[in-house]
Structure 1
Amino acid sequence: MTPFSAPRRPFSRPVVGGPPVAVGDVALAALVLVAQVVLAALLPVGFASHRPDALGWALLVLGAVALVWRRRAPMACLLGMVAAVAPYHYLENIQEAPILCSGVALYALAVAGPRARTLVVVPVVVATMAFELGSLGKPDGFTDTLRSAGWIVAVAVIGEVVRIQRKYVAAITERAERAERTREEEAARRVAEERLRIARDLHDLLAHSITLIGVQTSVAAHVLVADPERLDRTAVAGALDAIADTCREARAELRTTLRVLRADGDGPLPGLAGLPTLARAAQAAGARVELTVDAPGPVPPAVGAAAYRIVQESLTNAVRHAGPPAPRITVRVTGDAAALRLLVRDDGPGGADSGAGGF
């Protein structure tokens, strides 16, 4: 037996037509059989009936045994029950004994559905009973048929009500499971979007800082190698100080970003107030930055953070790809109550804007 295989139960072989026969089905059939035997043995003998003989007992047993397949094949169960009970009645055995197996078979058929089959089978069963009673030559056979038809219809109605109730519960359960799956898919989508946003923010932050550090390191290396005899210690110290400042600013911004991601609430998003720091970092890398901020007062945090990231990425690209040794970069932030506009322009090859837009 593999680790994932379940132990087999007796009477539990799966079939295509319905659920497998379970131990409970056999137990119910045995209980009905015992009750029918007790009724056939203890009920008084009527005017036109007698105690079952050997054939009568066998038919009574077969009618109860057919109930084993009541869930797996309800129509076959009903036909098997009728095949056993009809000759039992025809032989004028005690008529009340097989009532239990008849009721259980009809109930199982109604519960299994569909409704159209039940509506067809019930009149057929009533007509069969009328034919049997008529063949026995009873003068009140029609009255007995109507009296028996009452419990037949009642059993069928109860089975139909149970079927509808089960179908309703199954529909509610399915809707709940579908809603749960939808919530899980929505949560997974939001997690994926949040991961993408985190990756984008960290890329913007680290790419900017690493680019500036690389440029500043190149400047320091050029100063050291270009003319060792006339070493400009002030320039080297300035480049190293700029590298240290960039590292500190990157570390502080990374700490702020992580606090926001952890939802601590004490780490504000970067905004327009951080643009001068970005300009100083670009100037430390050798660029000439002209920054103009003319915003209409406080802007929403999300808008300010978006503007900060756009300017940060634009400065990074200008410092990395600009042609002149000291590129000139113009950054303008303007707006009104309805929109915020950004313009980032450098004097690199082509003279095109590094970034421009509004939101």
Structure 2
Amino acid sequence: MQATTPTASRPGVGERIIAVINRDPRAAPHGTRNDAVLAAVLFAGAACLALFTDDGSRPDPAGWALLLAGHAPLLGRRHRPLLTLCLVAVPIAAFHALDYNHSAPVPATMVALYSIATTGTVRRTLVSGALVIGVGLTMNGLTNPEGMIELLRITGWVVAVLFCGIDVRFYRQYVASIVERAERAERTREEEARRRVAEERLRVARDLHDLLAHSITLIGVQTSVAAHVLTADPERLDRTAVAKALDDIAETCRSARGELRTTLEVLRAQDAAAVPDARGPLPGLSALPDLAESARLAGADVDLSVRADDVPPAVGAAVYRITQEALTNAVRHAGPKPSVRVEVHTERGALRLSVTDDGTGPDPSGTPGFGLVGMRERARSVGGTLDAGPREDADGFEVTAVLPTPATPLTTTTTITSERTG
């Protein structure tokens, strides 16, 4: 049995009327067709009033022509309301002046006035209404000088229609402003969502770069060490050195695999609440000795000095990643067995990181990478700054970062010092 697809229910009569009221008449679909139908209906109503009421004489052929000429301009009431009113007023005024049925053309005149009130400014509406009242009072004074009640009735209808049109116009503007604010809010939400996606992609790219670049560099250096030991003197092979180099490679691979798995778990999670502890604790200052030891295994001579405490986790993670990338660059570009000094200490309201080496630095003619860009982005992510470039007073490369952090009392400062090792 084939399932039936539910169809959307059609809006009710009341909903459609409200939609018509809320909509700008100049943007309504099939506006000209609807106005043609409206003009025909009004002309039919005017004909009935002219035939079956005693408010003046019945029209002759000239009167019917004037009555038709007073209804035909309503086809352009949406886009040319003022011109429409003028074209309606001329034959209607002649119709009244010839003392034909005075009630017959009133609905067409009111529709023309309503169109001006709903599409024009308040000033134009009031001026148009005053002119219509003046013409109406003049015609009534010429044809029926003693009809004071008729004068009041004409004036009351004109004022009522004008104020009704002005009210509808203001209501439409209010609804349009609400819709515009809603659309603006939706666009803002979409832009915010796109910005968050872009920031998340950038963060993931930085994480993967820091992780893979560091690990692959260490694996490359350790592999070169193992290859050198194997080929240096095959007859006097140092199996212990080869085994240690291979163990270091395996340990680096395991560490990289663990960090990569953690990152991928976060990426695969549909909701951050689904894996609240997927990433585990952020790496911080306490993990800097492990970075220094990894760089030493790759052949660098690292001197690490950390004098800081009570650092926010985000700042500690930024220091860790910047140091990781700086050590990776030193191992890769500073030449064989570079000397690297890493200093981390607190200042008044800030944490300063300095990583210097005595190598040659990156090759300016080489392909630029993303390491320096990633380090600067890391520093900016916590409101800090980072400078990187050749040292001014000596050979080598220097990376300096200043990251804002609450001031740390000197009495609670913890010092982690790692001396150079060969």
| TM beyond 0.5 | yes
Corresponding position of 2:48: 38
RMSD between superposed Cα atoms in Å:
2.5
Counterpart for residue 86 of structure 2: 79
The answer as to 2:241 corresponding to 1:209 is no
Superposed CA offset, 1:42-95 (max 9, x none) = 21x25xx22222222232233233222221221122122212212221222221
Partner Cα distance (1:256, 1:248) in 2: 12
1:102 aligns with 2:114: no
Unpaired segments ≥5 residues, structure 2: 1-25, 361-393, 404-422
Aligned partner of 1:285: which letter? A
Cα deviation digits, residues 125-161 of structure 1 (max 9, x gap): 122223323433x331566334311211111111111
Q: In structure 1, how many angstroms separate the alpha carbons of the residues matched to 2:402 and 2:108? A: 81
SS in 1 for 2:62: helix
Among 114, 123, 136, the residue aligned to 2:121: 114
CA shift for structure 1 position 169: 1.8
Aligned residue for 2:177? 171
**Alignment counterpart, residue 310 of structure 1, candidates 322, 325, 329:** 322
Question: Offset of 1:336 from its aligned partner?
Answer: 7.4
SS of match in other structure, 1:96: coil
Amino acid at match of 2:112: A
Residue aligned with 2:195, SS: helix
1:212 and 1:285 in contact (8 A); partners too: yes
Amino acid aligned to 1:309: R
2:4 is aligned to none
Give the aligned length: 337
Instruction: Write out per-residue CA displacement over residues 215-249 of structure 1, whole angstroms, 9 at most, x where no aligned residue.
Output: 11111222222222222222222222211111111
Q: Which amino acid aligns with 2:135?
A: T
Where does residue 193 of structure 1 map in the other structure? Answer: 199
Q: Distance in 2 between matches of 1:355 and 1:72?
A: 68
What secondary structure does 2:283 align onto? coil
Q: Residue 8 of structure 1 aligns with which residue?
A: none
Asked whether the 8 Å contact 1:122–1:153 carries over to 2, the reply is yes
Match of 2:399 in 1: 355
| TM-score normalised by structure 2 residue count | 0.73
Task: Name the counterpart of 1:248.
Answer: 254
CA distance in 1, matches of 2:286, 2:43: 88
2:169 counterpart SS class: helix
**Cα displacement (A) at 1:351:** 4.8
Cα displacement (A) at 1:347: 4.0
Q: Secondary structure in 2 aligned to 1:22?
A: helix
Output the CA distance in 2 between the equivalents of 1:347 and 1:106: 87
Structure 2 contact 218–295 (Cα < 8 Å) conserved = yes
- Contact in 2 for aligned 1:256/1:269 (Cα 8 Å): no
Residue in 2 aligned with 1:88?
A: 95
Residue 339 to residue 114, structure 1, CA distance change in 2 (3 Å): closer
Is this contact kept in 2: 1:259–1:265, CA < 8 A? no
Equivalent residue for 1:328? 339
State the match for 2:411 in structure 1: none
Show CA shifts across 1:293-345 (max 9, x none): 4432x53221111111121112112211233x333333343447954343434
5+ unaligned residues in a row in structure 1: which ranges?
1-17
Instruction: Output the TM-score relative to the length of structure 1.
Output: 0.84
Q: Distance in 1 between matches of 2:198 and 2:301?
A: 39
The code of the aligned residue for 1:327 comes to P
Please, which of 124, 140, 150 is the counterpart of residue 133 of structure 1? 140
1:107: Cα distance to partner?
0.8
Maintained 8 Å contact 1:130/1:141: no
Q: Which amino acid is the alignment partner of residue 316 of structure 1?
A: T
Distance 2:287 2:264 in 1: 17
Deviation at 1:353?
5.9
Q: Partners of 1:269 and 1:341 in 2: how far apart?
A: 19
Counting only pairs closer than 5 Å after superposition, residues 226-245 of structure 1 correspond to structure 2 as: 226-245=232-251
- The counterpart of 1:300, out of the listed 312, 330, 334, is 312
Question: In 2, distance between residues paired with 1:347 and 1:132?
Answer: 104
Instruction: Tell me how far apart the structure 1 counterparts of residues 52 and 208 of structure 2 sit (CA, whole Å).
Output: 88
- The 1-side partners of 2:77 and 2:402 are apart by 72
State how far apart, in whole Å, the 2-side matches of 1:308 and 1:36 are. 87
Residue of structure 1 equivalent to 2:11: none
Matches within 5 A, 1:28-67: 28-43=38-53, 45-46=54-55, 49-67=56-74
- Tell me the SS of whatever aligns to 2:145: coil
Q: What CA deviation, in whole Å up to 9, does each residue of 1:187-226 have, x standing for no partner?
A: 3223222222221222111111111111111112222222
CA distance in 2, matches of 1:337, 1:234: 49
Match of 1:5 in 2: none
Structure 1: distance between partners of 2:31 and 2:82: 15
Contact kept, 8 Å, 1:51 with 1:94, in 2: the verdict is: yes
Partner of 1:285: 298
In 2, Cα distance between the equivalents of 1:355 and 1:70?
A: 73
Indicate yes or no: 2:355 matched with 1:344: yes
- Give distance in 1, aligned partners of 2:83 and 2:353: 79
More contact order relative to length (CA 8 Å, sep ≥ 6)? 2
